Amino acid sequence: MASTIKSDNGVSSGVTGIVQTADSSGQLALQTTNSAGTAVTALTLNNSQQATFANTINVPNTFGFKNRIINGAMVIDQRNAGASVATPAGYTLDRWQVLQSTTGKISTQQNQGSVTPPSGFSNYLGVTSGSAYSVGSGDYYLILQNIEGYNVADLGYGTANAKTVTISFQVYSSLTGTFGGALTNGAGTRSYPFTYTVVSANTWTTISVTIAGDTTGTWGSTNSVGMQLIFGLGVGSTHSGTPGSWSNSAYYSATGAVSVVGTNGATFYITGVQLEVGTQATSFDYRPFTTELALCQRYCFVPNLTYNNYSGVCNSTTSGLVSLSLPVPMRIAPAGTFSGSFSGDNGLVVQTYSAANVSLNNSGVNTVRVYFTGGSGTAFTGGQAFGSNAASTGTIILSSEL
Amino acid sequence: MYKLQLDAISKQSNSMVFRDVDNTSIPMIVDNTDYQQFVRDIKSGAQLNDAEGNPITGSDLTTFMETLP
């Protein structure tokens, strides 16, 4: 039994209104009446405060993949494994890109500065300014995430049904004031500059920004860029716009926003980034580590070559080919960047290869073929098994980033 | 500088190009951002070599560019 609150449509009782009953159970049932006038319990709250819904739950936020941002908790760092990147001109933590109109103004690192992350998080993306740089009109210093079109197609941007989204995150900066960012389409022909305020320096601050959906413009809905979420670290007037409305311009931030690169040693730390449907920020969508890693590996995969799987074959006295199966289908056939020294063997003898002598010989979304050539060491015989060797210290970064 | 790659077995084009500044193999796919950069670089005058290391210039380069996706 339970106390009840019933919305009576009057079909059976002849009286419309809210009807209450009470008992001593301490439980509460919310009831609605169907077309026949019969009361049906929709929600029960027991005396342990547990809620039981009788039917489906419809809310603006989806429960699966609520957060359209990948690696919003800044956990995955395949490229750098937590090391500092002095002059990033590309991707830093997985899925997070650094763009600098002139490189070398900032450094980035997972958990840079070793401050205590905000409650509920173990990691953050840290940015530190390396100089006091006055941005020119065309300058831009940004961290951003390109969201694949498949992951935001349901938002209906560019249509009359475009959905309102809310961006939330935790930020910590040595600076205070009004910071800026923007939500844009992939082509940079639609942008919505926004602001947020950091009142207290060196304190984690929870930020929430709600943006009405854009009913115009062209927004990617497949495997190209669907949407860009940008945080400005110093943006000149050309790419700064009035906050709070959609524009046809390529705005990356809001006019008058704080410039992190303008102060030598200034810090900007961020984590818990979430972009979700609706007008309210909800709790952060924590995903299992393996799920988050797999989501990242659609765009970047750093294989471990320090084991012998002999999946390859020697195709000359000094070369070998190894096929690598990718853990998830990548967005497109990836490019492969090689650094360091590699080692391979046929089970009998070992050869070493410089990064310049290793390449992708084929690239696909499910498999790549790595070609080790010009090896130094005892000669192989063509047709023998070949595997990357545990002595390899080199790194392969496979990238199909947006 | 870029260099065209060959398939290790067939010795024919494998539709990949190697960027030597950072030892990156790039598939010639329109949606690949490294490929997009390759096209921009070549149009801006960056050197492109064939698989044997010979520079591709003049009308040969123009013809090659016309075949790109």
DSSP-assigned beta bridge partners for residue A387: A345
Residue A235 CA to residue A259 CA, distance in Å, equals 7
- Decide which of B16 and A65 is more confident: B16
What's the pLDDT score for residue A61?
A: 63
pLDDT value of residue A62: 61
DSSP line for A129-185: E-S-----TT-EEEEEEEEEGGGTGGG-TTSTTPPPEEEEEEEEESS-EEEEEEEE-
- Where along chain B do its domains lie? 2-67
Write the DSSP string, A354-393. Answer: EGGGEEEEEE-SSEEEEEE-S-EESPP-TTSEEEE-TT--
A73 CB neighbour count, 10 Å cutoff: 25
Within an 8 Å CB–CB cutoff, is residue B24 touching chain A?
Answer: yes
Given this model, what pLDDT does residue A305 score? 78
Measured in angstroms, the CA of B1 and the nearest CA of chain A are apart by: 13
- pLDDT of B69 > 70? The answer is yes
**Angstrom distances, CA of residue A40 to CA of A9, A13, A47, B64:** 12, 14, 20, 72
Stretches in chain A below the pLDDT threshold 70:
57-63, 87-89, 307-309
Specify the higher pLDDT residue, A192 or B10: A192
Rounded CA Rg of chain A: 27
**Are the C-beta atoms of residues A269 and A127 closer than 8 Å to each other?**
yes
User: Which candidate from B8, B20, B32 shows the least CB-CB separation from A335?
Assistant: B32
What are the pLDDT digits (tens) for B23-60? 999 999 999 999 999 999 999 999 999 999 999 999 99
Q: Tell me, what DSSP letter sits at residue A117?
A: P
Q: What is the DSSP letter of A340?
A: S
Q: How many CB pairs under 8 A join A and B?
A: 66
What order do you get walking across the sheet with A205-211 strand by strand? A106-110, A125-129, A267-277, A165-173, A205-211
Instruction: Please tell me which residue of chain B has the smallest CA distance to A335.
Output: B26
Q: Does A339 touch chain B (CB under 8 A)?
A: yes
**Residue-wise pLDDT tens digits, A31-67:** 999 999 999 999 999 988 888 888 876 666 666 789 9
Q: Is B36 on the interface with A (CB under 8 A)?
A: no
Our CA-based measurement puts residue A279 at a distance from the nearest CA of chain B, in whole angstroms, of 33
Q: What's the CA gap between B22 and A318, in Å, rounded?
A: 23
State how far the Cα of A147 lies from the Cα of A141, in Å rounded to an integer: 19
- What pLDDT is attached to residue A92? 93
Predicted local confidence at residue A163, as pLDDT: 97
Residue B57 contacts A where some CB pair is shorter than 8 Å: no
Q: What is the pLDDT of residue A63?
A: 67
